[in-house]
Amino acid sequence: MPHPALPDDLNAIVASAIEEDVGAGDLTAELVPAEAVAQASVVSREAAVLCGCAWFDEVFAQLDANIAIHWSAADGEVLLPGQEVCRLQGLARPLLTGERSALNFLQALSGTATAARSFAEAVAGTGCQVLDTRKTIPGLRSAQKYAVACGGASNHRRGLYDAILIKENHIIAAGGIAAALRLARETRPGFKVEVEVESLAELEEALAGAADIVLLDNFELPALHEAVAQRRARPGCQTRLEASGNVHLETAREIALTGVDFISVGAITKHLRAVDFSMRFRLELPPGP
């Protein structure tokens, strides 16, 4: 599976995390002699999908560019409990200072990638694609979107700026689904237009308006089957269907088998369960006299 491109804001996000944690300086690391050198290794305490290596590397690169890091696993690979994922060597102070921030990125992004892999595997072979949502940790959207892709799921729109998703309040304000679709195409030609519907009657309006995607909000399984049938009843219809709302790992495959094209799952990024990693240090003492 090819890796997605690293986000442009990676360096800035890491700098912000370091500033948040270190501030004017690491008071405890000052207890260690400035010239002391150490080795460290990072171990996964549980099975997981690894993600966040570049953020981990960048933490130490910003603290001390001379720290050497050697990875034995890469983003997207499955880790076993107790598996060593990387080794580090360099001055002890920056290694100690960067430990928490680096592990924070690794545990959060690996947790996101692991959840994405679980959902992607649940619908494997159905032709349905699992999508993330905008329900991300503030400040970490680009990183979590990267993690979702590393886990084998796909990204929905990145924000409010790259696609149009017409929801209930937009429909009310615009004067209906047909009017909202027309205005969207007039004001932003060339952008993908998706509309959220809450009933089969609204779906018919969205299909008549040739929406690019229709989001089926909280449809039960029978209604999802009927929605797919409604689309198939329109020869040449290019509209794609996305199921969303109340999707769980246990129900994802059933939903996918209805024939919808996408399932969007906010839980992948919202209900984050961090992966447990630990960093073990060994101080390299200078030889005695």
Catalytic residues: 100, 135, 167, 196, 217
Q: Given the DSSP bridges, would you call strands 277-284 and 262-264 parallel, antiparallel or unpaired? A: unpaired
H or E, element range at 48? strand 48-49
H or E, element range at 193? strand 193-197
Report the alpha-carbon distance of residue 193 to residue 258 in Å, rounded: 23
- State how far Cα 120 lies from the chain centre: 13
* Torsional class of 125: left (φ above 0), alpha (ψ -120 to 50), beta (otherwise): left
H or E, element range at 254? helix 252-256
Token pair, residue 88, equals 């580090």
Place of tokens 């018919």: 204
